[in-house]
Amino acid sequence: MIAATMALPLPAALAGLLPEGLLLLGIVAVLVLDAVPSPGRARRAPLLGLLAALGATAAALLQSPVANGGMLAFDAVAHLVRPVLAGAVALLLLVRFGEARDARGGSAIENGAIENGALENGAWTTAVLGIGFGALLVATADNLLPFWIGLETISVASYALTAWRADRRSAEAGMKFVLFGGAATATTLLGMSHLYGLTGRFDFAGIGAGLAAGMPLPVTVALLLASAGAAYKLTLVPLHFYSPDVHEGAPATSLAVITAVPKLALGALLVRALPVLVPQRLPGGGGLDVVLGNGLAMAAIASLLVASLTALVQRDAKRIIAFSGVGHAGTVVLAMSGLPDPMAGATVLYYLFGYAAANTGALLCLAVLERRQGDTSLAALRGAVREHPWVTVALCLFVFSLAGVPPLAGFFGKWSVLQQALALGTGDPARPLQLWAVGALLLSTAIAAWSYLLIVRAVVLGGDASLASDEVPGRPVRRTVPLAMTFVLVALAAVTIGLGCWLDCLPTLGGALRP
């Protein structure tokens, strides 16, 4: 294995790790400097983190894909995803930086949905950088070990961010997350140890070779166990049910960090790992890719239907977003069922880029609205448009993208997944489930539209304080939003519209992934 790590000359390998290194450096700097009391401390931690994340983004952007990097693969997938991950972390830290500055000026944050103590800023920055570090590691992993380290880093930081608010609901959500996440990662570890025992390898290609050489059944069982961690992070049915409770309890700003970024990293990992893990031909004949494809399609159908139907009865915007996440995860694995075709990989990434932008944007908008009454139940969100007209417009845009209204990113993401599944289903009689999955996706789109509309209805149409009623006494209080938050929301909205209008993004990604 040491030989494998040394496949690249040391300076090149270190250069490849520059983004991760910069994030680690940021974590260390924040932790050390946070111990030194000084007047500007509140702003310093987010600023340092922001600089580290920007540096990591630039470093990831400037790297060129390398064929073989040992335990880590600096391939086309990593090349496409790593700058996006680091950039997302930078945007989220920018939000925090803006709020820290505003808190110092004494505006914007009224009731302490996020406490702005200097120490809190340091800890928050560390957690976010940690998630960024873990995500980069997962997205680059070509081996179970870095995958595991990355996954655990993300998980531990996520637990902390979930239980961030010092109230019962937040603590309860954090506890639930710890217990469930612990069980899921323990299962993963069990599967990994079996994989190592059966094949003697930790790298994906080696495991795939072991699988092709024989023992398909035990290895398949071990693989299933090992994939539990990925399924739980993606919130696939039946490993999804912690997610709504975590969403309800955790502050929306934390959710913006712990939902989309890890999913994108995992998507990248699976796009790389699945084609090599699962050989095209088994010794006895028959393609495991078809078996895998059907399995993924089945998981997709379950997730889509459960998510869209359960979302209908939710009365909290964050819970609706949680079930939306379950449904979108189902769509992503449907896209994965087309692997090892590079276009399927491109579809996964295109879909996840659009999802990440819309989901993060929606949660950030909810983070702003959450501060009005301390929670995001549909009743509490009523009439938000009067106080925050522009944030509400942005929220509607992101929600419409999640619902799949053209010409937004969510629509063309769904479109490309549907198109691929339809082509697979009609082209290959061994994949009948693809067509059922297409049906499930269309049906769940129509059903889920209603639950997305519940959010729109609450913020725009709802309540006596809605836009339409004349009887509201006095002028509405227009609250200001920090400049940094505005900038981030505008950037995410631009991505949501831009990805939607740039239809050739998908073939471009596909071209980049083609070996």
Partner 1 sequence: MIGPLSLCVLGPLLLAALCLVPVRAGLPRWLAAAGSLLTTVVGGLALADFAGHPGADFRFVEAWSWSRYYGASFGLGIDGIGAAMLLLSGLVTLTATIAAFDQQRAPRVYHALVLLLLAAVNCVFTAQDLLLFYVGWELVLVPMLFLIGVFGGEQRRYAALKFFVFTLAGSVAMLALLLALWNATPPGMAKSFDLQQLAANWQVWRDSPFLGGSLAQFGFLAVLLACLVKLPAVPLHTWLPHAHVQAPTSVSVLLAGVLLKLGVYGLLRIALPLFPGMAIASAPLLAVLGTVGILWGALVALGQRDLKRLVAYASVSHMGFCLLALANLTAAGATAAVVQAFAHGLVSPLLFLLVGVVYERAHHRDLDRFGGLAQPMPHFAWFLLFGALAGCALPGLAGFVGEFAALQSGFVAGAPFAACSAVATLAPVLAAAYLLSAYRRVATGPLRHAEHANFADLGAREWAALLPLAVLIVLLGVWPRPLFAAVGESCAVLVQHVLGARP
The footprint of partner 1 (CB under 8 A) covers 400, 405-407, 411, 415, 418-419, 422-423, 426, 435, 438, 442-443, 445-446, 449-450, 453, 456-457, 460-462, 466-468, 470, 503-504, 506-507
Least distance in angstroms from the C-beta of 197 to partner 1: 44
Q: Which is nearer to partner 1, 114 or 455 (CB)?
A: 455
User: CA-to-CA distance for 19 and 58, rounded, in angstroms?
Assistant: 8
Q: Which is nearer to partner 1, 15 or 461 (CB)?
A: 461
Residues shown for the chain: 515
Q: Which is nearer to partner 1, 110 or 504 (CB)?
A: 504
Q: Which is nearer to partner 1, 258 or 421 (CB)?
A: 421
Long-range Cβ contacts of 283-290 (<8 Å, 24+ apart): 283/212, 283/213, 283/214, 283/216, 287/430, 288/211, 288/216, 289/339, 289/340, 290/428, 290/430, 290/431
Least distance in angstroms from the C-beta of 209 to partner 1: 34
User: CA-to-CA distance for 244 and 266, rounded, in angstroms?
Assistant: 20
Q: Six-digit token pair at 418?
A: 């549907």
Q: Which is nearer to partner 1, 221 or 393 (CB)?
A: 393
User: CA-to-CA distance for 77 and 512, rounded, in angstroms?
Assistant: 8
User: CA-to-CA distance for 326 and 306, rounded, in angstroms?
Assistant: 8
3-state secondary structure (DSSP) of residue 141: strand
Q: Six-digit token pair at 463?
A: 């309540």
User: CA-to-CA distance for 334 and 132, rounded, in angstroms?
Assistant: 26
Nearest one of 213, 185, 187, 188 to 199, comparing CA atoms = 213
Least distance in angstroms from the C-beta of 83 to partner 1: 23
Specify whether the CB–CB gap between 420 and 335 falls below 8 A.
yes
Q: Which is nearer to partner 1, 67 or 446 (CB)?
A: 446
User: CA-to-CA distance for 289 and 280, rounded, in angstroms?
Assistant: 6
Q: Which is nearer to partner 1, 123 or 396 (CB)?
A: 396
Q: What is the per-residue DSSP string for 225-237?
A: HHTHHHHHHHT-T
Number of helices (H) and strands (E) in the chain: give both, helices first.
24, 0
DSSP-assigned beta bridge partners for residue 141: 72
Q: Which is nearer to partner 1, 282 or 453 (CB)?
A: 453
Least distance in angstroms from the C-beta of 229 to partner 1: 33
User: CA-to-CA distance for 436 and 304, rounded, in angstroms?
Assistant: 11
